[in-house]
Structure 1
């Protein structure tokens, strides 16, 4: 049982402020967290804590005995902690429905505060005691307690105490049926909260105003206040208040016949109660959600909610609540025309209500059983159930239920053809209906003067207030947005232009850097990076053509689509800087690069590998005669104009790719490069021995010899040359080449 004035839970349920050296014990912290979700555990924790002995706070401070201080904090409680424990226990007992024990607990807190001259804590206890008095329907006693609490609060008292006092005073006026004063008090609280920006206090005032209008049977105004409460708390974690407001809104929408809205708000209430973690409240919310869903002609979904609630009730063992759920489930099955299930659950509900002497719900169950028998055309059984229901309702003079019973009896006799009895029950139905209407009119007239005018005024005021708040918020947002845009727009524009210019400059610099990275800076010729960038694609293309040639059995001619790689060793480029100086060397290298670009074949390429080495690349289709191409290369360097004496004796290594036409994938670019450097090494050996220009070409014979080249490629290639698997062409006698001298030798062990 959690009361409608539960604002005290958030404001007053906790302990009073403790000294910095007195942290709140774990038991009280945990109890405060469980106050709404599991009040029975909260009571157990506070009982356990109150078993400690009370000690003077001065004993808790001893800077020279830390161990004693820790032991005292664990085994004893201070006066402030005792006050907090009694207050928390009172609220937890009240939330569990134990009103008398709750009153005893709060009396302990009040007496403790009075004995130690703590007026604020004494006032806190009196506010809680007034709250309990309202729950027991004793508003006069609550009024006296609130007056005593107000006298204790001085001007320096905490603002939350004043807020709680105002809400409780207004709620007490409502229970005393002083409706005009209550409405004025709630409106005053709401205006103050709006001015102070206290959305929670404003929400509570709105919620209690909704209860005020429900007292006056003005459902539309009550509904407007409940919805406004939910709007104020939309982004706050006030689960209990949001759940209660949504639950009330769902009931009012259901009464107005707006099933979709009723289901929406009932679902919201269930979600908030689930977040709150209080099983009884969650069960009640699921029950209400099932009812409004069933009223919206979705009995199947309603059964889901009812059975979810039933599972929770079985865990708690509440027989009365279980009987109510059996009644609702039986009603839902009856709407679905599942008569066997309806009979089973309605029978369980009837037995339980008879045992507990719950006459009103026993009447409701008999009415549903009467409808069940009518639906199965069991007129006699239906008449027995309805007559028993009529007898019980007449004993209690229960006018609303008598209206429904006579309506059902009139339908029963009409369906059976007994028109005289049907007429009797129709007359009784209209008599009770007129009596209920007359009572409602008298009650409404006694509660409200000028009801229609007030209703219209309140509607207009509520709508104008909401429109004004929305307009004010829109103006503030617009002003903030306009100011922000006026400040940010020039900065954004400047940033965009600056970033665009910087991006363009960086893109240009990046392109230029990429271009320069692919050129040798001394000669401005393409360098090894550009060679390695292009080499894999070029090799893959030739490998594909070689495979096509090999698979085409009709072609008998040898493969003639190789690419020749000439690795040139230019002696004068090796030590040019040492011989002529940096300045002249730089000019000669630049001049050589420009010169070579203009002298090479239009479809050939030349790369500067540094260290006096160049690679000349040309397709076999552009080479009419290899000797002629070699003469052209030698002549190109011989005719290079230079003022200094240069050593122009070239040593050239030559290979073609694919090196193995029938196994083009056997050698990758690195292994191919090793063979090319081996050919150039042989040419250098010839040039040193003869003192002339020299060239060496390595050419694999046309057979399946790919397996021979597995392993260290330079060694394998020399062995292949010696075995005749690789043919050697050279500018001089090839017998002058010492291939063993060109084999790599491992380092001698140290």
Structure 2
């Protein structure tokens, strides 16, 4: 923010600071003069000076410490009204930056207060004097020392003042001290002081004081980069001023909000508030604040790239400042105008206003404006191609900017200087300037609080809505009606919820019944109707995908939804035929055969323990699956185990106990886990079981045949669409190893030929 902007904000600080000392004046002239302090201190000065000149000081009617401001005779003024007039006079000189006259007036007010034993007025005058030393003379040490003395005087004079007067003085003392601490970067101390002041403010019950407090604290948070909290405070002050129809403080709040939004680059809101403030100052002919507001509006237009509008407002502000004979303000405005002309490529005009700026800045000795003017002159020289002059002006401007600590100006200067050196082909100095620019930019970025513009707008809207909550209390009748409607809606929703709950309960009950029925149906469907064992009727063409997993994962053998337990990736399969189940029906009839098969199924269910599984494959054939962690285990062990199962069941039953077993492992091909799917593996098992049947025809007793591919068997050998033919070719080529309990040769060609004749 520019130095002129801070100067104007200091003017507003003084206005608001003095508004805290607002009190009831029995003399209308002084009341009017006190009100004009906020927006037109020149007029206030004229009115107060006329009042003091036209009336003579009279002695008080009584010597008690309570002085009555009785001015029925308009040719005289009492000591109390004289002190009040001198205080207003000092405030006006303070706001016009005339510290000598301000101190003289306030000293006179202090002397009269001491002579007339006006304790409250004397302490008030001392507070004003401390504020002048801080605001005009920037002597914060002396100002703080004076505030310490005032604090001691208040403590020792409590018996001479009313309780309300003591609280007001303590509030003013805390506010002045906190403002100084905030300006001198003692943020935590200032914040504590503002919190203490708020306790006294509650007891004062003064809306004007509350508005002043919100604006001052909002400015404090803004100065220290707490933009969200600053927005909250400033909006609170704004809406309070609107509610109490305090137009002067509403205009000040509008200006402060415009500065905040302009700083945060929310130009639409900044322009809205600045326009409202400008309308007030223009309507009441407040020249000084109007000039500053016009400059703010012009700055917003300039940042938006609307240079013609910016020029119009800069010229209007310059006219106001020329009437006020403010050379520093005029110099700053001319500098802004020169910058806009440069943006419009009107170099002669820019040069003209820059020349006037340097003259005025030299006369006033303002280093900030001189530094800014030199940087802008360097930019103009660079645009006109005067590289040497540009470098000279930029370097001089950077030295001045560094001396006054203006980092924004240094950033601009280093960027322009880098470009100038680059155009001069002095790349080394250009690089140095660029590095200094990057260091300054990095430091600035680290010090700034990054807030998104949209988030900032949203927070502003939320704060405004929260501040309007009080309006809801005024709508009690509408709220009562809304509450009545809400009760009806709630009752309706409650009834609707009850009906939905009943329907859901009924639906849940029906779903449970259907689920139980589904479980029974699935149990019946997946269970063999005679043995009670699980069957394989759900084996479908979709099942091979269940085996298509990498060798790094455990293989899961899924057969439809029947065999869905996850097992190891190594499985041993045995398809065994029990011939007595065929013969029992022929020899003993259907009922006896059915009972024996049911008993056999129950027996197998009891004997087979997880993770092994057993399925009823067909009428007399069963599929047995178990994990096989040891692939080198002998197949005759599994055949022996199955034979023992059958033997134990047929013990003392005098029934043929022979069985035929076909065995294989999964993966059938050790080097390719997904080469053989479940259908093909079953085909291999059927081949092995059929071979065991052929062996049993030639040799007595139970027989078994075990097929397994050798370790080096390639997956491509089994890639045809006929796994039986592939297995026979593998047997002939020595890729499939055959183990059997029989001693006779097995003919595999017949099996293959018969396979082709099936239509």
User: What TM-score do you get using the length of structure 1 for normalisation?
Assistant: 0.53
Distance 1:421 1:472 in 2: 62
Q: Does the 8 Å CA contact 1:54/1:77 hold for their aligned counterparts?
A: yes
Distance 2:442 2:305 in 1: 29
Residue-by-residue CA offset, 1:222-249 (whole Å, 9 max, x unaligned):
2332223212212444344333333333
Tell me whether 1:477 sits opposite 2:474 in the alignment.
yes
Distance 1:407 1:352 in 2: 27
Distance 2:49 2:80 in 1: 16
Structure 2 residue aligned with 1:364:
372
Q: Does the 8 Å CA contact 2:93/2:99 hold for their aligned counterparts?
A: yes
Tell me whether 1:46 sits opposite 2:48 in the alignment.
yes
Structure 1 residue aligned with 2:314:
306
Tell me whether 1:262 sits opposite 2:276 in the alignment.
no
Distance 1:128 1:14 in 2: 15
Residue 172 of structure 1: how far off its partner (Å)? 0.7
Distance 2:173 2:459 in 1: 25
Distance 1:310 1:153 in 2: 50
- DSSP 3-state at the match of 1:117: coil
Tell me whether 1:35 sits opposite 2:40 in the alignment.
no
Structure 2 residue aligned with 1:119:
119
Residue 306 of structure 1: how far off its partner (Å)? 0.7
Residue 252 of structure 1: how far off its partner (Å)? 2.6
Q: Does the 8 Å CA contact 1:409/1:422 hold for their aligned counterparts?
A: yes
Residue-by-residue CA offset, 1:401-437 (whole Å, 9 max, x unaligned):
3332121121233345543332232123234445666
* Most deviating of 460-469 and 73-82: 460-469
Structure 2 residue aligned with 1:4:
13
Residue-by-residue CA offset, 1:140-170 (whole Å, 9 max, x unaligned):
3224324424654569737477346414413
Tell me whether 1:315 sits opposite 2:323 in the alignment.
yes
Matches within 5 A, 1:260-339: 260-275=268-283, 277-339=285-347
Matches within 5 A, 1:164-203: 165-176=170-181, 179-180=187-188, 182-187=190-195, 198-203=206-211
Find the partner of 1:157 among 162, 165, 169.
162
Structure 2 residue aligned with 1:55:
58
Distance 1:197 1:482, change over 3 A: farther
Matches within 5 A, 1:128-143: 128-135=128-135, 136=138, 137=140, 138-143=143-148
Q: Does the 8 Å CA contact 2:339/2:376 hold for their aligned counterparts?
A: yes
Distance 1:96 1:302, change over 3 A: same
Tell me whether 1:253 sits opposite 2:258 in the alignment.
no
RMSD: 4.1
Q: Does the 8 Å CA contact 2:171/2:200 hold for their aligned counterparts?
A: no
Distance 1:225 1:141, change over 3 A: same
Structure 2 residue aligned with 1:110:
110
Distance 1:425 1:246 in 2: 40
Distance 1:469 1:356, change over 3 A: closer
Distance 1:210 1:459, change over 3 A: farther
Distance 1:470 1:222 in 2: 18
Q: Does the 8 Å CA contact 2:20/2:209 hold for their aligned counterparts?
A: no
Q: Does the 8 Å CA contact 1:239/1:276 hold for their aligned counterparts?
A: no
Structure 2 residue aligned with 1:207:
215
Tell me whether 1:409 sits opposite 2:406 in the alignment.
no
Structure 2 residue aligned with 1:77:
77
Residue-by-residue CA offset, 1:347-383 (whole Å, 9 max, x unaligned):
2212322343323212211222222233344434433
Residue-by-residue CA offset, 1:678-716 (whole Å, 9 max, x unaligned):
xxxxxxxxxxxxxxxxxxxxxxxxxxxxxxxxxxxxxxx
Distance 1:396 1:73, change over 3 A: closer
- Size of the aligned set, in residue pairs, is 454
Distance 2:61 2:367 in 1: 61
Q: Does the 8 Å CA contact 1:123/1:152 hold for their aligned counterparts?
A: no
Tell me whether 1:145 sits opposite 2:135 in the alignment.
no
Structure 2 residue aligned with 1:719:
none
Distance 1:173 1:322, change over 3 A: closer
Structure 1 residue aligned with 2:434:
426
Distance 2:232 2:361 in 1: 37
Distance 1:257 1:98, change over 3 A: same
Distance 1:168 1:463, change over 3 A: farther
Residue-by-residue CA offset, 1:563-590 (whole Å, 9 max, x unaligned):
xxxxxxxxxxxxxxxxxxxxxxxxxxxx
Residue-by-residue CA offset, 1:280-310 (whole Å, 9 max, x unaligned):
2222222222112211111111111111111
Distance 2:169 2:477 in 1: 35
- DSSP 3-state at the match of 1:88: helix
Q: Does the 8 Å CA contact 1:212/1:222 hold for their aligned counterparts?
A: yes
- DSSP 3-state at the match of 1:73: coil
Residue 94 of structure 1: how far off its partner (Å)? 1.7
Residue-by-residue CA offset, 1:487-519 (whole Å, 9 max, x unaligned):
xxxxxxxxxxxxxxxxxxxxxxxxxxxxxxxxx
Q: Does the 8 Å CA contact 1:250/1:262 hold for their aligned counterparts?
A: yes
Distance 1:421 1:191 in 2: 58
Q: Does the 8 Å CA contact 2:358/2:373 hold for their aligned counterparts?
A: yes
Residue-by-residue CA offset, 1:435-487 (whole Å, 9 max, x unaligned):
6667x49xx9xxxxxx99xxxxx99999998766544541x12314467999x
Q: Does the 8 Å CA contact 1:331/1:368 hold for their aligned counterparts?
A: yes
Residue 80 of structure 1: how far off its partner (Å)? 2.9
* Most deviating of 78-87 and 42-51: 42-51
Q: Does the 8 Å CA contact 1:13/1:87 hold for their aligned counterparts?
A: no
Distance 1:418 1:249, change over 3 A: same
Tell me whether 1:382 sits opposite 2:379 in the alignment.
no
Find the partner of 2:228 among 217, 220, 233.
220
Q: Which runs of 5+ in 2 are unaligned?
A: 1-9, 63-69, 484-759
Residue 323 of structure 1: how far off its partner (Å)? 1.6
Distance 2:313 2:360 in 1: 21
Residue-by-residue CA offset, 1:514-571 (whole Å, 9 max, x unaligned):
xxxxxxxxxxxxxxxxxxxxxxxxxxxxxxxxxxxxxxxxxxxxxxxxxxxxxxxxxx
Q: Which runs of 5+ in 1 are unaligned?
A: 18-23, 60-68, 445-450, 453-457, 487-750
Distance 2:403 2:468 in 1: 54
Residue 129 of structure 1: how far off its partner (Å)? 3.1
Distance 1:103 1:155, change over 3 A: same
User: What TM-score do you get using the length of structure 2 for normalisation?
Assistant: 0.52
Residue 199 of structure 1: how far off its partner (Å)? 3.8
Matches within 5 A, 1:483-502: none
Tell me whether 1:101 sits opposite 2:101 in the alignment.
yes
Structure 2 residue aligned with 1:555:
none
Distance 1:95 1:349 in 2: 24
